[in-house]
Amino acid sequence: MRALLSALVFSLPLPVLAVQVDGRIDPTEWADAQRIDDFRLTQPLTRAPSPHATEAWYKATEYGLAIAFRNRQPARVPRTRQRFQRDRNGNVDRVNVYVDFDGDGRSGYNFMVGLSNDIADSTISNENQFNGDWDGHWTHAVSEDDDGWSAEMLIPWHIAPMRQGDGATRTIGLALDRVVGDSNERMAWPAISFNEQRYLSELRKVEVPQYSQSLLAITPYVVGLYDNVGGKADFDAGADIFWKPNGQFQLSGTINPDFGQVESDGIVVNFSAIETFFGDKRPFFTENQGYFEVPFGSLGNAQQLIYTRRIGAPADDGSGAGDVAAAVKINGSAGGFGYGVFAATENDDAGRDFYALRATRDFAGQGVGAMLTRVNRPFLDREATVFSLDHRWSPNARWTVRSNVVGSSVVQNGDRLRDTGGQMRIDHQINDAWRQQLYLLHTGGDLQLNDFGFLDRNNFNYGRYEVSRRITGLPEDSPYASHQWRYAVSRRTNDDGVHIADAFAINRGSERRDGGNQFVEIAGWTSGHEDLITRGHGAVKHPGRLFGFAERFFPKKTHWSFYANLRYSAEGLGGIDRGAWSVTLEPAYAVNDDLSFSAGLELQRNPDWLLWRGDNLLGTFGSEQAFLSLGSVWLIDPKQELRVRLEALGLDAEAKRAWRVAADGTPVRSNDALDDFALRNLGFQVRYRYEFAPLSYLYVAYVRGGSLFQRGVGPYSVGDEFTGAFDLRDSEQLLVKLSYRFEI
């Protein structure tokens, strides 16, 4: 009988050993894990064997995906232990894990741990677009000894929605890398870089046992605010809800969401016809938002079909910010399809309703997706609907084709407006050194995406071809580790047959052996037309334009780091020799690994600033601008931090010449009177944060700010405006916020 019992016991499948995440790699814990030691240089991108011995292990456990790193680092290689705020890492020793839980190259996650045990995390979409607004709950630890340092991570399965695997296993995409902060060298497995055209789809496909975790998390919050200027207090409360019963379904909800009072936007000066894009820090709106991020209208990820800052944006009746009542988001998969549902509603008569549906399906070498959005704006009697279809095709390892078509239908006051647009991006990796890209974009004149999305302009046709070359293997005595040259030509027109401009750009990005980097660029536009500046009152004939830019970053070696750039931009009617000059200097000083100070000073002079003054009237101004930013971060201990941030801006503009736009677009000198004007801005914040538990915080913040725009007969002085900014006190608030995440 005893022999029979022993036989039964040993015939049972052995449980996967749990990992104690303490930063110390126990050989017993990792005995059954997959070991990796073939790390290769990807920064610079030589793909040569790693000069720094690195080992890693990974395995799937019932609690999550476990990863360990052993990083050999002898005394001759300095260790950078500088602490940093979450998602604000610099040139520090660190390790990264990149995971695509579905293995389809559509979306992924990046988890980073520094030698200081500080972390960063982000979502990845569209191959190599990282978004650090998202914060996940995962476990990490580091340890250090004479030979190097080690790190362990445990990423729970409930951190992201994922499709059902095949049988008892699932296939995920995985990549690991290590960065030596002193030299900024990056060693990766597999030997791929997120600076290449394809990254997510090139993650190593590995098969792991399939597990499923459920989670219910509720994060209520309360906020108390005292307005010292208005002499009144205000209180608010709400909650975020996260429910994942299994791997194939995930629901996020929010009631009266926090509008991110503790994460204020920086100062921006924008007199152009194109609005400024801002990121979103509200937890609900960053949770698994990558599935809904469908870029359209640019090569980057700023322009997209869903821009969550529209929710809670200034209300349609001009009464202030929209009051978001509730929102819900569902991500899941069924029958081989991925799907997502998004809905949000605002309070009051001017409140808007936002809806989105998304579905995706992936096949061998290609994937398709569709999205439908709708926004109801009752105060404007407006309903806006947008439909999009996106397609991704990778016929082989060197070619990738991405395309989108969109259509909008807007009904306002009984009138309907429809139009369409489309874009295509073709990437070709010619060989290890050369690549080329063709990008084509069309947006119809009546295409309306900005009720829910962000599109900088419609009525636009744009074509751009770029070829680039990477140079590695430079001599050992060279100060450079690698160069990346890019050469591009482009053409811009609108649907009315107006030629906006043809353009060229040449730039070089360089990685230096000291761990720093530099970038230089020169670009030019031919003569053409500026068709946005008059806001619909005619396209203006414009002379050629010239742009130049150079920047250099010196990494911290002992205490100091330094960044500087120089910019030249000739965009006015005076031609390429009447451009604006600006210089930016940003030194930073680390007192120790926990306390650091930073400063930034930007000075700008523009003798030919062209601005719209109403109707078809333009004005040329001579302007000067000074912008100062100061900051300090004290990471008191692993749970407490104190941050101070100051921004002050002063600007003066002296009227030089008035212009009227003739019927043929020619700017004609006018005797219209123009006013000088000046602007001063201030933003100041002292913020204390205490972390009770993962994603549970107490914030205490003092915030002061203001803005003053003056217009009339000058002269104004940039010096007076800048110094006067420190006297501004339009708002002065003390804010206390408490949030706590309960997990079931």
Rg of the chain on CA atoms, in Å: 27
662 vs 660: CA distance, rounded Å: 6
* Whether the Cβ atoms of residue 81 and residue 508 lie closer than 8 Å to each other: no
| pLDDT value of position 568 | 98
45 vs 40: CA distance, rounded Å: 9
Share of the chain above pLDDT 70, in %: 96
**Which residue in the block uniquely carries the two structure tokens 């700008």?**
604
* Whether the Cβ atoms of residue 448 and residue 419 lie closer than 8 Å to each other: yes
Question: At 372, is the secondary structure helix, strand, or coil?
Answer: strand
Contacts of residue 728, Cβ cutoff 8 Å, sequence gap at least 6: 680, 681, 682, 705, 706, 707, 708
For residues 632-646, b (16+ Cβ closer than 10 Å) or e, as one string? bbbbeeeeebebebb
The closest alpha carbon to 143, from 26, 18, 16, 19, belongs to 26
| pLDDT value of position 397 | 85
Q: What is the DSSP string of 392-438?
A: EE-SSSSEEEEEEEEEEEEEETTEEEEEEEEEEEEEEE-SSSEEEEE
* Whether the Cβ atoms of residue 652 and residue 624 lie closer than 8 Å to each other: yes
Q: How many CB atoms lie within 10 A of CB 369?
A: 20
| pLDDT value of position 299 | 66
The tokens for 473 are 């293997």
91 vs 80: CA distance, rounded Å: 8
Written in H, E and C, the secondary structure of 151-174 is EEEEECHHHCCCCCCECCEEEEEE
**Which residue in the block uniquely carries the two structure tokens 């000894």?**
145
**Which residue in the block uniquely carries the two structure tokens 């339009």?**
730
Preceding omega of 44 cis (within 30 degrees of 0): yes
Q: Is the dihedral angle over the CA atoms 567, 571, 572, 574 positive or is it negative? A: positive
| pLDDT value of position 712 | 85
Domain spans in the chain, listed from the N-terminal domain onward: 14-209
Q: Distance of CA 680 to CAs 160, 277, 685, 729, Å?
A: 44, 21, 17, 12
* β-pair partners for 367: 362, 392
Looking at the domain that runs over 14-209, which CATH code has it been given?
A: 2.60.40.1190
Residues in the chain, pLDDT under 70: 1-17, 258-263, 299-301
- For the segment 666-724, what is each residue's pLDDT rounded down to a tens digit? 999 999 999 999 999 999 999 999 999 988 999 999 999 999 999 987 789 999 999 99
CA dihedral 407, 412, 415, 418 (to 10 degrees): -10
685 vs 589: CA distance, rounded Å: 20
130-134 contacts: CB < 8 A, separation 24 or more? Answer: 130/194, 131/279, 131/286, 131/289, 131/290, 131/293, 131/301, 132/87, 133/279, 133/280, 133/281, 133/286, 133/289, 134/286, 134/287, 134/288, 134/289, 134/290
Q: Distance of CA 710 to CAs 99, 542, 649, 681, 707, Å?
A: 52, 29, 14, 12, 10
| pLDDT value of position 364 | 81
pTM: 0.89
* Amino acid found at 429: Q
- For the segment 570-596, what is each residue's pLDDT rounded down to a tens digit? 999 999 999 999 999 999 999 999 999
